[in-house]
Amino acid sequence: MYSDQLLNELREKARILRRDVIVSIGVGVAGHIGGSNSAADLVAALYFYKMHHDPKTPKLEDRDRFLLSKGHVAILQYAALAESGYFPVEDLKHTKEIGFYLQGHPDVQKTPGIEAGTGSLGQGLSIGLGMALGMRLKGIDRRVYVLLGDGELAEGQVWEAAMAASAYHADRLVAIVDQNGLQANGWIEERYNSYPIREKWESFGWRVLETDGHDMEQILTVLDDASRPEGKPTVILAKTIKGKGVSFAENVVGFHNGMLTEELYRKALAELS
């Protein structure tokens, strides 16, 4: 259904985003490699295939919105925005410099293309819901995508929003759960279990779609499925690997917010080139 050319282009975009993530973290400063790389394929599919947006007009009314509820992987969204043309790719390596427009967490005021202030977890879905309802009032028929972590699902506000979205039949709202199985301190199922997930979303009245979060063809299929409104909000459960693409960081707890030595930095870039 999708051409090999398209799929390969998107895989290539995802590789570039992962490389950009490493470049923006650099050497000797902690950065969220794990959760960025687990979501890179999903984010590449959204920015370079699915979403209607215009980097030259970030505030274009008639646009799809992407909100990063797991705000700690801001560097991934910055990479997607930069590669889309919102701002220069060269600026990524200045991320987190004092006063710079690329802060450690998304800031709606400072950065073009950022739709929501996030970082304190659990709030993005509520913001996305408000946005979807505002767009409905204005007659803008576009989608709001909200990326959450699976560890984040422990936050009670996620379920307040889930309940409300269902009550409001917010069928232009699409939640995507980056199910990498790890939270900051370890495996979710060992530390504090937010699973099972599917049943929770279903019982809250959501349509649930599942995908391998690293299989581009599957990702495009569920994103396109999610675009067919059924009178209720949709959640995509995406099974992923934390740190994907950087061998020494994959499934390693320490690379939730890890620091790279010069040697590891070079190794990561080599693996992503």
Mask 72-111, x = binds other proteins (CB under 8 A)? -----------------------------------xxx--
Smallest distance from the beta carbon of 256 to other proteins, in angstroms?
A: 20
120 is a site residue for other proteins (CB under 8 A): yes
Judged by beta carbon, residue 117 or residue 213, the one nearer other proteins is 117
Element (H, E) at 211: strand 207-212
Shortest approach of other proteins to residue 157 CB, angstroms? Answer: 5
Long-range interactions of 200-205: CB distance < 8 A, separation 24+? 200/153, 200/159, 200/162, 201/162, 201/235, 201/237, 204/159, 204/162, 204/163, 204/166, 205/163, 205/166, 205/167, 205/232, 205/233
Q: Is residue 132 within the footprint of other proteins (CB under 8 A)?
A: yes
Between 3 and 109, whose beta carbon lies closer to other proteins? 109
- Residue 36 has φ and ψ, to the nearest 5°, of -75, -50
Q: Is residue 203 close enough to count as binding other proteins by CB under 8 A?
A: no
What is the length of the chain? 273
Q: Concatenated DSSP letters for 129-159?
A: HHHHHHHHHHT----EEEEEESGGGGSHHHH
The answer to whether 137 contacts other proteins (rule: CB under 8 A) is yes
How many beta carbons lie within 10 A of that of residue 94, not counting itself? 13
Q: Which stretch binds other proteins (CB under 8 A): 22-30, 40-48, 128-136, 225-233?
A: 128-136
Residue 16 corresponds to which tokens in the numbers above?
A: 């570039």
Site string for other proteins, 29-68 (x = CB under 8 A): --------------------------------x-------
Q: Pseudo-torsion of CA 108, 159, 145, 214, nearest 10°?
A: 120
C-alpha distance from residue 125 to each of 156, 226, 256 (Å): 11, 16, 22
Residue 42 to residue 26: CA distance in whole angstroms: 23
Whole-angstrom distance, CA of residue 230 vs CA of residue 210: 16
> Does the footprint of other proteins cover residue 133 (CB under 8 A)?
yes
Q: Is 233 in the site for other proteins (CB under 8 A)?
A: no
Residue nearer to other proteins on the CB measure, 71 or 213: 71
> Minimum distance from CB of 186 to other proteins (Å)?
25
Q: Which of 58, 104, 130, 229 binds other proteins (CB under 8 A)?
A: 130
Tokens coding 169: 């039949």
Complex with other proteins: residue 84 or 157, whichever CB lies closer: 157
Q: What is the footprint of other proteins within residues 149-168 (CB under 8 A)? A: 156-157, 160-161, 163-164, 167-168
**Residues in contact with other proteins by the rule CB under 8 A:** 61, 107-109, 115-120, 123-124, 126-135, 137-138, 140, 144, 156-157, 160-161, 163-164, 167-168
